[in-house]
């Protein structure tokens, strides 16, 4: 559920403007942006470190920790959109292509209720 009409293209343009205003292109090659994605994903993971499953659910509900989770998710998404914008990658199409590939790797009738690949 995404309660917003903002498109990936609009967000990508906003991220591009933000970076162009700061002359950050020189810092944003594919390697740098991949490091950015991984670093921000690590910051997201850090928020859940050592938490029990019950504490994880509480963290998502509690307003302060939820705000931190939203911030790190946004950081990951910003780096993804910066990457796709810099290299003219259509993220929506890439996601749909990967979902289609995953549908063949994880046929619902064969993997329902477990998270292992069908060929495992």
Where on the chain is the footprint of Mg ion (CB under 5 A)? 40, 43, 75
Q: Least distance to Mg ion from the beta carbon of 39, Å?
A: 7
- Nearer Cβ to Mg ion, position 14 or 43? 43
- State the Cα–Cα distance between residues 69 and 47, nearest whole angstrom: 7
- Nearer Cβ to Mg ion, position 47 or 111? 47
Q: Least distance to Mg ion from the beta carbon of 104, Å?
A: 34
- Nearer Cβ to Mg ion, position 78 or 86? 78
By beta carbon distance, the residue nearest Mg ion is 75
Q: Least distance to Mg ion from the beta carbon of 38, Å?
A: 12
- Nearer Cβ to Mg ion, position 20 or 70? 70
């Amino acid at each position: 559920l995404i309660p917003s009409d903002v498109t990936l293209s609009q967000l990508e343009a906003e991220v591009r403007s933000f970076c162009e205003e700061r002359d950050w292109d020189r810092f944003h090659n594919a390697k740098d942006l991949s490091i950015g994605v991984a670093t921000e994903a690590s910051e997201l993971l850090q928020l859940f470190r050592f938490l029990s499953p019950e504490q994880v659910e509480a963290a998502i509900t509690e307003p302060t920790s939820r705000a931190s989770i939203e911030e790190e998710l946004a950081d990951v998404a910003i780096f993804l959109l910066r990457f796709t914008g810099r290299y003219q990658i259509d993220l929506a199409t890439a996601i749909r292509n990967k979902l289609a590939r995953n549908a063949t790797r994880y046929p619902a009738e064969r993997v329902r209720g477990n998270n292992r690949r069908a060929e495992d």
